[in-house]
A = this chain, B = another copy of it.
Amino acid sequence: MDTALDRAVRVFRERGYHATSIGDLTAAMRLATGSIYKAFRDKHAVFLAAFERYTARRQEQTRSAAARGTNGRDRVRNLLLSYVAQSQGTEGRRGCLVVGSAVELSAVDSVVAARVGAQLKTNEDFIAGLIREGQADGSIPGHVAADDTARLMICITQGLRVVGKARLPLDGTRLVGVAMKLLA
């Protein structure tokens, strides 16, 4: 069932919520219509489960990318580099369920809106924490405004997903090189 949900994640990422029909889901999840409705109340419940699975996995990836750094500054850099990599090529074209949900659903679906907002807040807090770590270990100047900088970096990461979905090429080294000025 978890592998079926992974396949649902993929379809929702590529097509979004409304453009994904139950037929698309049966084909992708390799489950018949009745089986899907036996496992989930309706299409919306499938989406919510897929969303949760996606964010859990992404959070894992993001944190392990950050963990590869040796100090606060390096951890932020690695996090940003990981986001650029995720926003590019095949993976980038596949899209991000969080930005997809924010754009397509958060205006009309308060349940999804709440989860999107919570996810963004979690990521923002994580980045702010990394910045404070950097200030503690001396790799980031103390005058950097951690919260404001974290919020701007969230905008950068979400914007990367939009631009990546639009197929614009993204040079990780150069882009992140520029972005690191925010920690000066």
Interface residues of A (CB under 8 A from B): 14-16, 18-19, 93-95, 99-100, 102-104, 106-108, 113, 116-117, 120-121, 145, 148-149, 151-152, 154-163, 165-168, 170-171, 174-175, 177-179, 181-182, 184
> Is B179 within 8 A of A152, CB to CB?
yes
Contact present for A106 and B167 (CB under 8 Å): yes
Closest to A157 in B: B159
Q: Separation in Å of the A14 CB from the closest CB of chain B?
A: 6
Contacts A16-B104, A103-B99, A168-B120 hold; do A155 and B145 have CB atoms under 8 A apart? no
Inter-chain contacts of A95 with B (CB < 8 A): 103, 107
CB–CB A160/B162 < 8 A: no
Interface pair A104/B160, CB less than 8 Å apart: no
CB-CB under 8 A from A168, the residues of chain B are 117, 120-121, 151
Once A15-B107, A107-B93 are accepted as A-B contacts, the answer to whether A152 and B175 lie under 8 Å apart by CB is yes
Q: Give the residue name and chain of the B residue nearest to A15 (CB).
A: B108
Known contacts: A93-B107, A103-B95. The answer to whether A120 contacts B159 by CB under 8 A is no
Given A120-B168, A154-B159, also A107-B14 (CB < 8 A): yes
Query: Which of B113, B121, B165, B167 makes the CB contact (< 8 A) with A103?
Result: B165
Give 29 pairs: A residue, B residue, CB < 8 Å, sorted on A: A15-B108, A16-B16, A16-B18, A18-B18, A18-B19, A19-B108, A94-B107, A95-B103, A100-B104, A102-B163, A103-B162, A116-B166, A120-B163, A148-B171, A148-B174, A148-B175, A148-B177, A151-B175, A152-B175, A152-B178, A154-B163, A155-B155, A155-B156, A155-B175, A158-B158, A158-B162, A159-B159, A162-B162, A182-B182
